[in-house]
Amino acid sequence: MQTLEKMYSMGHEQVVFFQDKTCGLKAIVAIHDTTLGPALGGTRMWPYATEDEALIDVLRLSKGMTYKAAVSGLNLGGGKAVIIGDPRKDKSEALFRAFGRFIESLNGRYITAEDVNINVDDVEHIFAETNFVTGVAQAYGGSGNPAPYTALGVFRGIEAAATKAYGSRSLTGKTITIQGVGAVGFELTKLLTEVGANIIYTDINERNIQKMRESFPTAKFVEAKEIFGVNCDIYSPCALGASINDETIPQLKCKIVAGAANNQLKEDRHGLILKERGIIYAPDYLINAGGVMNVSIEFEGWADSKSRRMVDTIYDKTLEIFRISDEQNIPVNKAADVMAENRILSIRNIKNSYLGKTNHRIPGQKRRN
């Protein structure tokens, strides 16, 4: 399939290819939809085997950002960037500054941030060339590490799911299994233990397991393949995507699935299977939106209290999605899409009327042909 055809089939507005031979930069920026505002989404650096692989990734990820921003109530569109290269060998100041200059040339239609293999030091180089970047270090007036805010959003999403399942948002005494105790899983454990929940966790990284043992001695470790079958109230996927699939669903003994990982359902149909089994699924791209909410307020001056207030809204938004899911008898993942699409459409519609601001006849100025 050709690039324009791919863009058309997924509804993208713009895809831009950049290269700078002097530093070896090869990058693609995809802007999916800017109805709600400038397209925001991180930059991922990956040694893609082919250009096609990179293009498909950036198209898919940018579309996901449109839905995440829309459902989160942000005045932002969806975009994403990929840099084709090996993060262990190809990173340099020049590469990120060249990338920053290209981002600048998009004039604010796309705002970037960290994603896989891009850290706050790389962002600092991008920031040297453009203001259209978020996730900047707090020392430079940015919002710094997003993980605590992502974890807070996941915590609010879990509370909403508990309200639906048990009639109370309290998590005291509930048993929660966490798959992956990296940046977000660790912060989530902090919040859950503070309210008296019992934690059972797994990970495959010895350093992260050791950190958990030292910080939360009462939390219980299980091997990675055992986590799905543990008797618990809530299963929280905080590692990689696709952990809800044909193999794992029959093992689940929980009432709720709610975690930070992106694309938790291997396929859309797994949302329906969860619904049929009476397992409440909190929509991943909403409840993990705390990080993007946090960076979104960098432009108006970041403050911890502002960020927390915004992230707290995930509780009500999750309940609203459960309501749509019940009302329309559709799986929660579909209900989240409906809520996002309805918001984009309604805002697109109000933009139909002419605002009277167009300066097509400024006195004394010649009309341009």
Q: Which 194-213 positions form the footprint of ligand NAD (CB under 6 A)?
A: 202-205, 208
Assess 298 for contact with ligand NAD (CB under 6 A).
no
Which of 13, 337 has the CB closer to ligand NAD?
A: 337
Residue among 76 and 106 whose Cβ is closer to ligand NAD:
76
Q: For residue 310, state whether it binds ligand NAD (rule: CB under 6 A).
A: no
* 4 touching ligand NAD, by CB under 6 A: no
Which of 24, 47, 87, 182 lies at the binding interface for ligand NAD (CB under 6 A)?
Answer: 182
Active site residue 211: no
Phi-psi region of 108 (alpha: psi -120 to 50; beta: other; left: phi over 0): left
Nearer to ligand NAD, 25 or 151 (CB): 151
**Interface segment toward ligand NAD; rule CB under 6 A; list 14-22, 105-113, 176-184, 250-258:** 176-184
- The region of 59-67, 183-191, 210-218, 273-281 touching ligand NAD under the rule CB under 6 A is 183-191
Helix locations, 106-146, DSSP H: 120-127
Q: Is 261 in the site for ligand NAD (CB under 6 A)?
A: yes
Least Å distance between CB 149 and ligand NAD? 7
Residue of 26, 63, 68, 80 with catalytic role? 80
Which of these segments, 12-20, 134-142, 144-152, 342-350, binds ligand NAD (CB under 6 A)?
A: 144-152
DSSP state of 289: T
Stretch (H or E) spanning 71: helix 51-71
Cα separation of 282 and 288, whole Å?
Answer: 10
171 with 159: CB under 8 angstroms?
yes
Does residue 238 touch ligand NAD according to CB under 6 A?
yes
Q: Which of 240, 250, 303, 304 binds ligand NAD (CB under 6 A)?
A: 240
Under 8 Å between Cβ of 54 and 18? no
Task: Tell me if 147 sits within 8 A of 289, measured CB to CB.
Answer: no
CB of 290: closest distance to ligand NAD in angstroms?
Answer: 7
Please report whether residue 150 would count as binding ligand NAD according to CB under 6 A. Answer: yes
* 334-354 CB burial, b ≥16 within 10 A, e <16: bbbbebbeebbeeeeeeeeee
Which C-beta is closer to ligand NAD: that of 29 or that of 113? 113
State the nearest-atom distance from the C-beta of 4 to ligand NAD, in Å: 29
In angstroms, rounded to a whole number, what is the distance separating the alpha carbons of residues 13 and 63? Answer: 10
Please tell me the distance from the alpha carbon of residue 24 to that of residue 2, in angstroms, as a whole number.
25
Which element (helix H / strand E) includes 83?
strand 77-84
Residue 184 interacting with ligand NAD (CB under 6 A): yes
Beta-carbon contacts of residue 275 (< 8 Å; ≥ 6 apart): 281, 325, 331, 332
The rounded distance, in Å, linking the Cα atoms of 271 and 248 is: 13
Residues near ligand NAD (CB under 6 A) are 146-147, 150, 179-185, 202-205, 208, 224, 238-240, 260-262, 288, 291
Residues designated as active site: 80
